[in-house]
Amino acid sequence: MAQPTVHPFYHVWFKWVDIIVLVPTVYTLLTQPEAMLDAFIPASMSTYNPDQGFLFHHHAALYAFVGIILAGVLRVSNDTNVWRVVQAAVLVVDVGLLASTYVSLKQQDRLDIQSMRAADWAGIMFTAFVAAIRVFFLLGVGVLKGTKSKSV
């Protein structure tokens, strides 16, 4: 039985774009944690404390792990079941990011449109966009069923 065919868009997005986005994220978490904190909580509300640096290093390790899985597993396997498991796991991360951003903005009393910064919107929109790509893939959009070949 033939394997399903995955649309080239998913190959490019999951094997390249996802990883390209993760590299500067990991780098910034390790070298400029205050910038990462400010991306989620304005410096006027909370400033970076070096005693919390290990939390940013933990975050960097998680994102590096995700990047290695995306860069490695998806290149060595064309099995769509493997791809689905990987994308479902990354979708959990995306949903967690969106939920934690919502909780953080609510706690900061910044859920109204006037209080949200461009960085807030960019983070939410990008994460929702990549989550939607994963949902479409998991739903089979752009994944063509393999055809069963007949023996002659």
Residues 8-38: tens digit of each pLDDT? 999 999 999 999 999 999 999 999 999 999 8
Q: Check residue 149 and give its pLDDT.
A: 44
Does some domain include residue 126?
Answer: yes
Cβ count near 97 (within 10 Å):
18
In the chain, how many domains are there? 1
Does some domain include residue 148?
Answer: no
Q: How far apart are CA 108 and CA 117, in angstroms?
A: 13
Does some domain include residue 112?
Answer: yes
Domain that holds residue 101: 5-141
Does some domain include residue 146?
Answer: no
Q: Which residue has the tokens 């070298």?
A: 31
Indicate yes or no: pTM above 0.75. Answer: yes
Q: How far apart are CA 36 and CA 33, in angstroms?
A: 5
Does some domain include residue 151?
Answer: no
Residues 30-63: tens digit of each pLDDT? 999 999 998 888 888 888 999 999 999 999 999 9
Per-residue tokens: 125: 């929109």
Output the CA torsion 103→109→113→114 (10° steps): -150
